Structures are given as C-alpha cells and as structure tokens.
Amino acid sequence: MLYDIPAPAKLNLFLHVTGRRADGYHLLQTVFRFIDLNDRLDIDVRADGRICRETDMPGVPHDEDLVVRAAMALQRQTGCTLGAQLNLRKSIPSGGGLGGGSSDAASVLIALNRLWKTGLSRSELMQIGLKLGADVPVFIFGQNAFAEGVGEDLQAIKLPDCAYIVIQPAQNVPTVGVFQDPDLTRNTVPVKIMDFSGMTLSASSLSDQFHNDLQPVVLKRYPVVRQAFDWCSSTGLDVRMTGSGACLFAEFAQKNDADLAHQKMIAKMHSDFPELLKAEAPKFIQSVSVCDGLQEHPLRNWIES
C-alpha cells in the first residue's frame, strides 16, 4: 500500500499550435512547468485483480475515470493479476488546463509499477500514458520540458526557481471545442528550444514570440473567463492562460512577492465587488492559489530508468 501519493499540476508557460496532422490532431509546441498544487492518491493492492475506485467523480463513470483506465492499461500491458483500490483526493481544478486528470493517471502508473513490481521503464510507462492522453507522458518523464508533436516529444529544460499565482475562473472550458474553433491560429511559426531557454521566463518578459494560441479563442467563447482575465489584468497582474483554459497564472521571482500580490488581489476584489463577501453571490473567480514552481516531478525517482 502507498498513501498520500502526490500528483502535481502543470502550467503551459506558452502554447503554440504549429500545424495539424492528417488525422486531425494538432501539432504543438509548449513548455511544461510542474507546480506544487497536488491531487493526492491512496492505493492499496488487491489480490483479486479488481480495479476499484473509492472516490465518486460526478459525471465520470467508473471505467472512464483516468485513474481506473491507467491501472487497467498497466494490467493489460504487463499481464499482472493483482488489482488496486484507488482513493483520489482532488485539489487541482477540473477543466482548468492544469493537467489534473493526466497527472493522476501518471501517478497511478508510477505507483502501481512499484507496488505490483511490474518493472517497466520510464519510456514504457510513457508509451502507456500517451494512449491515455497527450499530457500524461510529461508527468512520467518527470522533468520540466520543452514539448513538440502532440505533446509527446519531450526535452528536459532547466527553469528558474519562481512562484505563481494560479486563478481558477468560475467556468470550465471543454478542450475539444477550443481546438475545433475556426478562429484558432494553427500556423504559428515553430520556435527552437534555445530561443526560449535563454529568456527570463516571467509572463511579463515573454515577448510576442511566446504566447498561448488558444487564449484568444477561450476569451472570445467564455465570458466568465474573459471577466476574470480582464479583472486580473486591471489589478496589475500580467496573467496568461495555461493549456486550453480556463485557469490563468502570473509568475513571480519570489514566493513572498506572490503572497503579497495575492493579498492585494483579494483586498481589491472585496473592494471592487463587496457583494462577493456574501456566500450566495455569483463569482467569476472560483479560487486563487499561490504555488511554487518545481524543478522535477516528486515521483521522478520512483522509476529506475
């Protein structure tokens, strides 16, 4: 048994759509950054071979849950006859572009590979993960990464220590609709890893060469996300969207700077919208978190090769 297994969130420091394959998948370039906002998993081994989910996920049937699918995929790949009892505690917002479901699946693969003693290598686990979702492999890769292709072509990248404010608007964004929007830019000129790695990586210092191609589509289609983006910008935060949204983030060199900006942000929100102090008032921002950037995935060393 393994308890309190972390599954960290990720940020896309930029996200370019550089083309589209014949099968409809979009070609991307991005930099993945892990942050210390974590879901948590408890896993017990079962001798009967069953994969059982303890946590009810509204709207997600048992066999469609990524944590269940990940465990079943590892069983199929290895022929393992053991099962698992899975308990997931969510902290990462769903539908926010933070990769929570993909991270949960990756942590299940990594943990069960250890518990079941299936002995798969990192690359073998990444191949299983890719079949579950394009973002799963980076969490198994275990390092902040420059990614290309559909997100599976990964190169480790060194990022500076920094902190982030992560804002969850009170509106979910389905990924499929964003990628299908006719206004989505699909021909951004590809960049090279050295173009990015030589820059100071705060959102304010990223030039127009680095952006999120999905952000204009989301801001056009989702008015609550637009309201959150505009208000955060009006407070002086230099925010950008992660993934396909809806979550926004701002980067700071020090955790103290992020904490101070967070305090000012909350004070201004209460000043601008005193009605939000009432529990029944509608909110355009669901939550705000202050997180450290991580240099590597907390389970990276759980895989031998």
Span 102-133, pLDDT tens digits: 999 999 999 999 999 999 999 999 999 999 99
- Determine the pLDDT at residue 106: 98
Compare 206 and 149 and report the one with higher pLDDT: 149
Residue in 10, 39, 104, 213 annotated catalytic: 10
Check: pTM over 0.85? Answer yes or no. yes
Give the domain ranges of the chain.
Answer: 2-157, 163-292
Whether the per-residue pLDDT at 60 is higher than 90: the answer is no
Judge if 2-157 and 163-292 fold alike in CATH terms.
Answer: no
- Mean of the pLDDT values across residues 171-188? 89
Task: Report which of 126, 87, 73 is spatially closest to residue 297, judged by C-alpha positions.
Answer: 126
Whether the per-residue pLDDT at 202 is higher than 70: the answer is no
Query: For residue 57, how many C-alpha atoms fall within 13 Å in the half-sphere facing its CB?
Result: 19
Span 243-271, pLDDT tens digits: 998 999 999 999 999 999 999 998 998 88
- Mean of the pLDDT values across residues 226-251? 95
Q: Which range among 111-120, 269-278, 295-304 shows the weakest confidence by mean pLDDT?
A: 269-278
* 215-to-89, 161, 185 alpha-carbon distances in Å: 29, 25, 10
Instruction: Give the pairing type, strands 51-53 and 83-89.
Output: parallel
Whether the per-residue pLDDT at 204 is higher than 80: the answer is no
Q: Which range among 26-30, 73-77, 137-141 shows the weakest confidence by mean pLDDT?
A: 26-30
- Mean of the pLDDT values across residues 221-237? 95
Residue 131 annotated as catalytic = no
Backbone angles phi, psi at 285, to 5 degrees: -120, 125
State the fold for domain 163-292.
Answer: Alpha-Beta Plaits (3.30.70)
Tokens 């009605």 identify what position?
275
pLDDT-based confidence at residue 200 (cuts at 50, 70, 90): very low
- Determine the pLDDT at residue 230: 96
| Residue 9 buriedness (CB in 10 A; 0-12 / 13-18 / 19+) | buried
- Mean of the pLDDT values across residues 74-102? 96
Query: Can you give the chain as a three-state secondary structure string?
Result: CEEEEEEEEEEEEEEEEEEECCCCCEEEEEEEEEEEEEEEEEEEEECCCCEEECCCCCCCCHHHCHHHHHHHHHHHHHCCCCEEEEEEECCCCCCCCCCHHHHHHHHHHHHHHHHCCCCCCHHHHHHHHHHHCCCHHHHHHCECEEEECCCCEEEECCCCCCEEEEEEECCCCCHHHHHHCCCCCCCCCCCCHHHHHCCCCCCCCCCCCCCECCHHHHHHHCHHHHHHHHHHHHCCCCCEECCCCCCEEEEECCHHHHHHHHHHHHHHHHHHCHHHHCCCCCCCEEEEEEEEECCECCCHHHCCC
State the fold for domain 2-157.
Answer: Ribosomal Protein S5; domain 2 (3.30.230)
pLDDT-based confidence at residue 203 (cuts at 50, 70, 90): very low
Q: Which range among 19-28, 46-55, 134-143, 204-213 shows the weakest confidence by mean pLDDT?
A: 204-213
Residue in 39, 65, 104, 135 annotated catalytic: 135
Instruction: Give the pairing type, strands 163-169 and 248-252.
Output: antiparallel
Residue 135 annotated as catalytic = yes
Query: For residue 293, how many C-alpha atoms fall within 13 Å in the half-sphere facing its CB?
Result: 25
Q: Which range among 81-85, 149-153, 213-217, 284-288 shows the weakest confidence by mean pLDDT?
A: 149-153
